[in-house]
A and B are shown apart, each in its own frame.
Chain A
């Protein structure tokens, strides 16, 4: 059928005002989709990254540790991390692997006994710099360089009422549960805008290994892929190795991130779904007018042999033609808006960001990507198909007799 597509295209140009209205609906829909997707990407990409980096794209831990993680059970540790780290080195896609110990401690400064509770973190210097971004979070001072040095989270520092250079006493436990105190000098104070940094005390790894009496081990090994989106694939690859009695967990499948990611995609899908639905309603409205107006000629074509499918195709193709133009314009406008938001951002106010469960910048920037543009364009085509489906089926149901009779 060579003439039918031509007919559909010419039908699209037949009533400029109505086609303009349909196109405008799709322009608005796709522009809105582009901007909202860019914005959501911008907002969550950054906060998800800041959430994923401190916990590792993939985490390796003892199964019992993973199960009772909230209690930080030190005795469920990986006794010797060296063999595992050695194996990880050769795995393609692994950009880094770091052992870490997190232990609950009580801290005190001077003569007073420890009333301030916090988390002691022991990890390699490279992890602090490259993954936690602790150097950027420093309010004052520097990162620890010797075994007797510590960086305090801002909240801890305030509760202890200490300044740089002060010596503090940290009371922890060994993995067997014996008391295990250590001393350290405050060389830096860091604030990351979230409890993760502000309520922790950061030590060199060997210092916490000593405190917890896990001399060669750690409670977790944090593994990083080039991109946190590749966490599941990387985890699969690591599971194929013989790493011993451990669990390998991709970030996106761990509590609470799996729930958060589910929520984000729910929000995104609902937003996109609403935009697609509302736009499709607009398309439905104008396409229905066209179908009703062209009943007689559809009836005549049906009499001459046009199939139901042909009648459906005629209107769906017409809507698609309009959607291609509308989509290009809409996505372009949306891209311009998104790029503006990408450079200028929107001020959220610290009050809002302080109440979010994850660290969020107070100024929110959009992140426009070619994928966003493509998906908005394709969703624009979907709007056209959805919107024209009912009118097209109505056209297919036209009985030649009735149509010709009504046209007298």
Chain B
């Protein structure tokens, strides 16, 4: 499997002088294509900062970052914007859909902004929404959708241009845990079906267990990098089954 993103001794400081905040203090990380990885850690540990760097929304102060074969530091702002628009999808904590556009238009907008001219955009947008289970909600505006549905639209919006990487900063933080789990499962299905790499952050343990790889950030450094083995996964599946049984019992 080839490397999608390689980060070496990356540092990021916000502000300067006595008010300076060391958000990342030397992070080393390699992400392979097709990974489904979560970044966990307490609030303020640098999760968003790291995701913004990987998503090319920001650049690091020190260190080297290679993404999709580009040395990111050597790209011009325009080149960075282009890489971002064409190859990276974003999902945000507060959904951030455009309120005056319908679900389908929101998804279509991503294609337009990326300058993607392949095929029929409207059709592709509809299909993307179909894939996330919102085929019947094409013409709803965000305020006519539940939080979970809105985040599904956001997933479709991130995926429609078939990016190499989807970056999601706390995508479930504004959802209740069941809805959040469902959105996560959807993301994981997409990861499996389409082979798109996912990198997302959370501090919800219930969400964390759904990842294949868990990075633990603390004070701007990676403290733990756990790639789950097959037996881990089996155990997880069992735990999930039990959970669901308990859940159903409670409902009953």
The reply to whether the CB of A115 lies closer than 8 angstroms to some CB of chain B is no
Q: Which chain B residue lies CB-closest to A14?
A: B100
The reply to whether the CB of B112 lies closer than 8 angstroms to some CB of chain A is yes
The reply to whether the CB of B137 lies closer than 8 angstroms to some CB of chain A is no
Give the docked Cα–Cα distance between A303 and B161 (Å).
14
Inter-subunit contact B114/A3 (CB<8 Å): no
Inter-subunit contact A297/B115 (CB<8 Å): no
Contact (A301, B113) CB under 8 Å given A3-B108, A7-B101, A400-B57? yes
Give the docked Cα–Cα distance between A304 and B89 (Å).
8
Inter-subunit contact B90/A305 (CB<8 Å): no
Task: Find residues 86-122 in chain B having any chain A CB closer than 8 Å to their own CB.
Answer: 86, 90, 92-94, 96, 98-101, 105, 108-110, 112-115
Inter-subunit contact A14/B98 (CB<8 Å): no
Q: Count the A residues whose beta carbon is within 8 Å of the partner chain — how many?
A: 27
Give the docked Cα–Cα distance between A407 and B53 (Å).
19
The reply to whether the CB of A2 lies closer than 8 angstroms to some CB of chain B is yes
Inter-subunit contact B57/A401 (CB<8 Å): yes
Q: Interface readout for B55-79 with A: 1 if CB under 8 Å, 0 if not?
A: 1011000000000000000000000
Contact (A303, B90) CB under 8 Å given A3-B108, A407-B96? yes
The reply to whether the CB of A404 lies closer than 8 angstroms to some CB of chain B is yes
Give the docked Cα–Cα distance between A300 and B105 (Å).
15
Inter-subunit contact A305/B100 (CB<8 Å): no
The reply to whether the CB of A405 lies closer than 8 angstroms to some CB of chain B is yes
Contacts of B100 in A (CB 8 A): 7, 10-11, 13-14
Smallest Cβ distance from B212 to chain A, in angstroms? 26
Q: Which chain B residue lies CB-closest to A8?
A: B100
Q: Count the B residues whose beta carbon is within 8 Å of the partner chain — how many?
A: 28
The reply to whether the CB of B52 lies closer than 8 angstroms to some CB of chain A is yes
Q: Which residue of the partner chain, among A1, A7, A305, contacts B98 with CB atoms under 8 Å?
A: A7
Give the docked Cα–Cα distance between A214 and B55 (Å).
94
Contacts of B113 in A (CB 8 A): 301, 304-306, 310
**Beyond A3-B101, A300-B96, A303-B55: 6 further Cβ-contacts under 8 Å?**
A6-B105, A301-B109, A303-B84, A303-B90, A305-B115, A405-B48
Ordered by A's residue number, 28 sampled pairs between the chains whose C-beta atoms are within 8 Å are: A2-B112, A3-B105, A3-B108, A4-B112, A6-B105, A7-B109, A10-B101, A11-B100, A14-B100, A296-B94, A299-B96, A300-B98, A301-B109, A301-B113, A303-B57, A303-B84, A303-B90, A304-B84, A304-B90, A304-B114, A305-B82, A305-B86, A305-B115, A306-B113, A310-B113, A401-B52, A404-B96, A404-B169
Q: Which residues of A line the B interface, CB within 8 A? A: 1-4, 6-7, 10-11, 13-14, 296-297, 299-301, 303-307, 310, 400-401, 404-405, 407-408
Q: Which residues of B line the A interface, CB within 8 A? A: 48, 52, 55, 57-58, 81-82, 84-86, 90, 92-94, 96, 98-101, 105, 108-110, 112-115, 169
